[in-house]
Amino acid sequence: MVDYLESAIARGMTEFGVSDHGPAYFLPGDHPLPGTQMAGSELSRYVDEALCHQEDYADRIAVKVGLEADFIEGQEAVLGRVLEAHPFDYVLGSVHYVGNASVFSRARWQTERAEDTYAEYYRLVQLAAASGLFDSLSHLTVIEAYGPPVGDDLVTRLYAPVARAVAASGCTVEINTSGYRKMGGDEPFPNRRMLRELIACGVPLTFGADSHRPDEVGFGRERAAALLHELGVRTDAPQRVSTRRGSLLAFRTR
Ligand SMILES: [Zn+2]
């Protein structure tokens, strides 16, 4: 954590959120997904460590104590209990699973139709927004980067309701630059077409590099800012936007 904070300070940041992958609370056992998610029993230690750094670094950078949490339909109450047990400044909501497969899976496309799976993904995103569990929704549209392209008409049909639902929920959306590191690499998550819809609905956008290494902190922020500028969003002065648990720095879109 210290390495990430030092990296953020070296890059001139004034505020930095830590948001490790929370436990896989929706599977049995304490540590069902080692290597990608922390054990349930590690969560308290993670939060305590982040709170310590928040205090220690207070005069150098504002540290927000966060978590990236999976949204699983039907498990909202379970997640709610996990989150309420800790004083998070913010929680990122992620749809990582559609059906029984990960959004990063490529094998699924041998048996699934993109139209159906994308529609299901965006239905879950809308439920995640409306759940009241999250402050920001992470890496929207990621599933499409790992799946087959679909026609413009489908995109139009799917995206507008998502943008309206997110706007109504009061959630912010993370502009996540890991899209520039993965796959063809020319779009962030959400992709620019989804960003256009979200901006049209006035959804504030937080910045996240999805850094999994300290040198990825702030990755692609100039590029993301240039894209937002092109889409008509002011990026020179991010503002504090109220969220469910408090506030986050975000680019306002209205
Ligand atoms: Zn994620």
Task: Give the residue extent of every domain in the chain.
Answer: 66-250
Kindly state the average pLDDT of the residues 89-107.
96
- Scanning 57-151, the segments in alpha helix (DSSP H) are 76-84, 114-130, 142-145
Q: Name the DSSP letter for residue 54.
A: H
Q: Name the DSSP letter for residue 141.
A: T
> What is the CATH topology of the domain spanning 66-250?
TIM Barrel (3.20.20)
Cα 223 to averaged position of ligand 1 atoms, centre (Å):
20
pLDDT band at 254 (very low <50, low <70, confident <90, very high): confident
Q: What is the pLDDT of residue 198?
A: 98
Specify whether the CB–CB gap between 21 and 13 falls below 8 A.
Answer: no
Cα 177 to averaged position of ligand 1 atoms, centre (Å):
12
Indicate whether 75 pLDDT > 70: yes
Q: What is the pLDDT of residue 33?
A: 94
Indicate whether 183 pLDDT > 80: no
Cα 118 to averaged position of ligand 1 atoms, centre (Å):
17
Indicate whether 176 pLDDT > 80: yes
Indicate whether 184 pLDDT > 70: no
**Residues whose Cβ atom is located within 5 A of ion ligand 1:** 94
Cα 96 to averaged position of ligand 1 atoms, centre (Å):
6
Indicate whether 15 pLDDT > 80: yes
Gyration radius (Cα) of the chain, Å: 17
Indicate whether 1 pLDDT > 90: yes
Kindly state the average pLDDT of the residues 21-40.
96
Closest by Cα among 130, 68, 73 to 100: 73
Strand residues in the chain grouped as ranges (E) = 15-21, 62-70, 90-94, 97-98, 101-102, 136-137, 172-176, 205-208, 239-242, 247-250
Cα 48 to averaged position of ligand 1 atoms, centre (Å):
22
The reported pTM is: 0.96
Q: Report pLDDT digits (tens) over 213-233.
A: 999 999 999 999 999 999 999
Rounded to whole angstroms, the Cα distance separating 113 from 123 reads: 16
Beta pairing, strands 90-94 & 136-137: parallel
Question: What rounded mean pLDDT belongs to the chain?
Answer: 96
pLDDT band at 161 (very low <50, low <70, confident <90, very high): very high
